[in-house]
Amino acid sequence: MTSNYPLISCICVTNNRPELLQKAIDCFESQNYPNKELVISYPKMDNSTTKVIEEYQNSDLKILPIEREDTESLGNARNQAVIKCRGEYVCIWDDDDWYHSSRLSFQFNSIQERGQGYQASILTRILLYDTTTKQVYLSFPYAWEGTILCRKVILLQNQYKNANIAEDSHVVHFLSTKNLLFKIDNVPFLYVYVYHGNNTWNYEHFEVFLSKSELITGDDSEHILGLLEYLN
């Protein structure tokens, strides 16, 4: 198990959003990759997150809770989670997005199939969902930082910036310039980026994404909206 399927730690930084966290846990539980743990970072006084985690105390899911200070930045929260996690690989697992059950296995296998050299993978096509208009888009080509799966040792050597916005840009830049990052273009269904009004970036920033992306309509749109029913 451990040799063929090294442990992947999914890093979820959350804050008093129990419904979104529950959906993130559901997506994690549905993953068909067999050796995984969910690392949940949350503020010390966040009782709602504590209650969600307690519901899984007797389950088979590997969940590693990490308390942090209320003032901790997103970047530093991720750094601490990476330090404390037990996986050989790390995957970012934002609590407000949606993940296909094959996300971990596909991104991991994409690295392994190309032999030595690549240490990380990232999606360059994803789906974008705007909850304010109930519309779904196929993204423009871009290295979506939040989709990264990377060997832990690399992230220990190149930590996230102490910031709440653009804390991960330099990590992707480093991996790209060192030819360590495999970019995956043809599986946008693995990841749905959801705008819900309380994202790190504001709506004006999200609108720039949408203006460059392709609106999805018809049955494809209905299918995706069905997967995201909890947000409609």
pLDDT tens by residue, the chain, 232 residues: 456 899 999 999 999 999 999 999 999 999 999 999 999 999 999 999 999 999 999 899 999 999 999 999 999 999 999 999 999 999 999 999 999 999 999 999 999 987 667 999 999 999 999 888 889 999 999 999 999 999 999 999 999 988 887 788 889 999 999 999 999 999 999 999 987 656 555 667 778 888 899 999 998 888 888 887 755 5
The topology under which CATH files domain 8-231 is Spore Coat Polysaccharide Biosynthesis Protein SpsA; Chain A (3.90.550)
Answer whether 0.85 is exceeded by the pTM.
yes
What is the dihedral sign for C-alpha 94, 97, 98, 100? Answer: negative
**pLDDT number for residue 1:** 46
What is the SS3 assignment for the chain? CCCCCCCEEEEEECCCCHHHHHHHHHHHHCCCCCCEEEEEEEECCCHHHHHHHHCCCCCCCCEEEEEECCCCCHHHHHHHHHHHCCCCEEEECCCCCEECCCHHHHHHHHHHCCCCCCCEEEECCCEEEECCCCEEEECCCCCCHHHCEEEHHHHHHCCCCCCCCCCCHHHHHHHHHCCCEEEECCCHHHEEEEECCCCCCCHHHHHHHHHCCEEECHHHHHHHHHHCHHHC
The answer to whether 33 and 7 have CB atoms below 8 angstroms apart is: no
Tell me how crowded residue 86 is: count the other CB atoms within 10 A of its CB.
11
